[in-house]
Amino acid sequence: MALWTPHSWQHFPAQQQPVYGDAAELEASLARLRRLPPLVVPEEIRRLRGLLAEAALGRRFLLQGGDCAEAFKDCTSEAIEGKLRVLLQMSVALTHGGRKPVVRVGRIAGQFAKPRSKPTERVGDQELPSYRGDLINGLEPSAATRRADPARLQEAYFHASATLNHLRALSAGGFADLHHPERWELPGGTGEVPAYRRTLDQVRESLDFLEALGGVQRDALERIDFFTSHEALLLPYEEALTRWVAEDSTYYNLGAHTLWVGERTRQLDGAHIEYLRGIRNPIGVKVGPSATPEHLVALLDCLDPGREPGRVTLISRFGATRIQAALPPLLAAVQRTDHPVLWSCDPMHGNGTESASGYKTRDFGAILAELRQAFELHRAHGSHLGGVHIELTGEAVTECTGGTEGLSEADLARAYETGCDPRLNGTQSLEMAFLIAEMMRG
């Protein structure tokens, strides 16, 4: 294989890239980005790799979740706190019910670029470039807003850094301290999840007991580990955040702790895989209906030649009606190799439907059905499911149907806010976490 550099991807075909009108303007923006400080540090990435390696061995469980696409306008304290809160609540449910420590990774602080099925869309009588995420263009359907704007690369960096700063301040400031019940409440306006209240009471009782014995250090409970991730889609941006780390004599992407490659951009001879093979971060790979066993094994050989635990997380996303046929041949192919992968399940992207009124939606029951089958298929084939990857928000949105609130298609219009795919709301997410915890125990 040819020598890797942070820009060697430029010699390979790159899917899903916007066309920038002015090369000089793009280069000026990238030059600025290359000089800005990194968002995360290698030490944190090494730590995450270690935790994911343990998850691959079945000792931990990965919870990865957040928006389909973050929007600059939603970079607010409420939205950030809401997402952190729901992920923490879910991790309490998973740790308590599933009996495993949880590795928390947000789709946050950089999830600003989206792959699209078509490069343009028809709005009224205009053919406009599709919205590709705030990193690239704006959602408003006008020719000016849909232009790929290089200034957005810097805006994305600064929004990611503001988000991360707030996440870090919250976690250093004891946001996750279980001794503060008010911080653990579900957001107003959402339904009750009775199992959550009981779990929280039990967790607090256990803590009181351990503290009485002098067995837990209070600051260990107040600090939280929380990592960031996004899809490595817009390669010039990712390249600009790729930095040489002399200590390890290698390159890291210091724009997020972990990155994943999407279903549409994981061609073996494509630019995205070329870029990802050279960075030291843990890498996620979405695995959907187009993946063959041969392709998957070749991808693993390329991304993880050293067979290092924690390096690759395979994220299956087939849909509830396809997973049964599609997953087992891939599990078998991976088992025939000695790649120590972590398997996760994204039960969202294979279960999209359109409501009669034209909303993109997903049903709680279908999401649950895919997860249930994923756990069972892994068990039946001598493998294990070590994580989940979910699109969610802390807000009381109405984007997915089902759950105990009983949201129906008629409810979707009430609070449908996503600029991209439909997300589970706070209550649905927490309910899902309790159901996943049951499945973890088998």
Residues that bind Co ion (CB under 5 A): 68, 421
DSSP string spanning 252-300? EETT-SEEEE-TTS--TTSHHHHHHHTB-S-EEEEE-TT--HHHHHHHH
Q: Using an 8 Å Cβ cutoff, are 225 and 103 in contact?
A: yes
Contacts with ligand PEP by CB under 6 A: the residue count is 9
**Contact between 440 and ligand PEP (CB under 6 A)?**
no
| Cβ-based nearer residue to ligand PEP, 14 or 224 | 14
Binding to ligand PEP (CB under 6 A) within 327-386 occurs at 349
Question: Which listed option, ligand PEP, Co ion, none, makes contact with residue 100 (CB within 5 to 8 Å by class)?
Answer: none
**Interface residue with ligand PEP, options 26, 40, 48, 68 (CB under 6 A):** 68
| Cβ-based nearer residue to Co ion, 83 or 339 | 83
Q: Which amino acid is at 439?
A: M
| Cβ-based nearer residue to ligand PEP, 262 or 426 | 262
**Contact between 115 and ligand PEP (CB under 6 A)?**
yes
Q: Which amino acid is at 249?
A: S
**Contact between 257 and ligand PEP (CB under 6 A)?**
no
Question: Which listed option, Co ion, ligand PEP, none, makes contact with residue 191 (CB within 5 to 8 Å by class)?
Answer: none
Tell me how far, at minimum, the Cβ of 362 lies from ligand PEP, in Å: 12
| Non-local CB neighbours of 432 within 8 Å, separated by 6+ positions | 90, 364, 367, 368, 371, 390, 403, 424
What 202-208 contacts at long range (C-beta under 8 Å, 24+ apart), as own/partner pairs, is 202/96, 203/92, 203/96, 203/178, 204/178, 207/178, 207/179
Phi and psi, residue 86, nearest 5° = -70, -35
Q: Which amino acid is at 304?
A: D
Question: What is the three-class DSSP state of 347?
Answer: coil
| Cβ-based nearer residue to ligand PEP, 97 or 350 | 350
| Cβ-based nearer residue to ligand PEP, 226 or 260 | 260
310 DSSP assignment: T
**By CB under 6 A, which span of 25-33, 144-152, 257-265, 376-384 interacts with ligand PEP?**
257-265
Distance (Å, rounded) from C-alpha 149 to C-alpha 22? 9
Distance (Å, rounded) from C-alpha 16 to C-alpha 116? 7
Distance (Å, rounded) from C-alpha 334 to C-alpha 326? 13
Helices (H) and strands (E) in the chain, counts: 12, 14
Question: Which listed option, Co ion, ligand PEP, none, makes contact with residue 115 (CB within 5 to 8 Å by class)?
Answer: ligand PEP
Q: Which amino acid is at 423?
A: R
| Cβ-based nearer residue to ligand PEP, 250 or 290 | 290
Q: Using an 8 Å Cβ cutoff, are 282 and 52 in contact?
A: yes
Distance (Å, rounded) from C-alpha 113 to C-alpha 69? 7
| Cβ-based nearer residue to ligand PEP, 309 or 422 | 422
Question: Which listed option, Co ion, ligand PEP, none, makes contact with residue 96 (CB within 5 to 8 Å by class)?
Answer: none
Distance (Å, rounded) from C-alpha 41 to C-alpha 248? 12
Question: What is the three-class DSSP state of 428?
Answer: helix
Q: Please identify the residue of the shown chain whose CB is closest to the bound ligand PEP.
A: 262
One character per residue 279-318, x = contact with ligand PEP (rule: CB under 6 A): -------x-x----------------------------x-
List beta partners, residue 424.
392
**By CB under 6 A, which span of 186-194, 259-267, 363-371, 392-400 interacts with ligand PEP?**
259-267
Tell me how far, at minimum, the Cβ of 59 lies from Co ion, in Å: 29
Question: Which listed option, ligand PEP, Co ion, none, makes contact with residue 317 (CB within 5 to 8 Å by class)?
Answer: ligand PEP
Tell me how far, at minimum, the Cβ of 117 lies from ligand PEP, in Å: 10
Tell me how far, at minimum, the Cβ of 288 lies from ligand PEP, in Å: 6
Tell me how far, at minimum, the Cβ of 319 lies from ligand PEP, in Å: 11
Distance (Å, rounded) from C-alpha 163 to C-alpha 120? 30
Tell me how far, at minimum, the Cβ of 137 lies from Co ion, in Å: 17
Tell me how far, at minimum, the Cβ of 304 lies from ligand PEP, in Å: 19
Question: Which listed option, ligand PEP, Co ion, none, makes contact with residue 159 (CB within 5 to 8 Å by class)?
Answer: none
Task: Report how far apart, in Å, the C-alpha atoms of 71 and of each of 68, 152, 316 are.
Answer: 10, 12, 26
Site for ligand PEP, rule CB under 6 A: 68, 115, 262-264, 286, 288, 317, 349
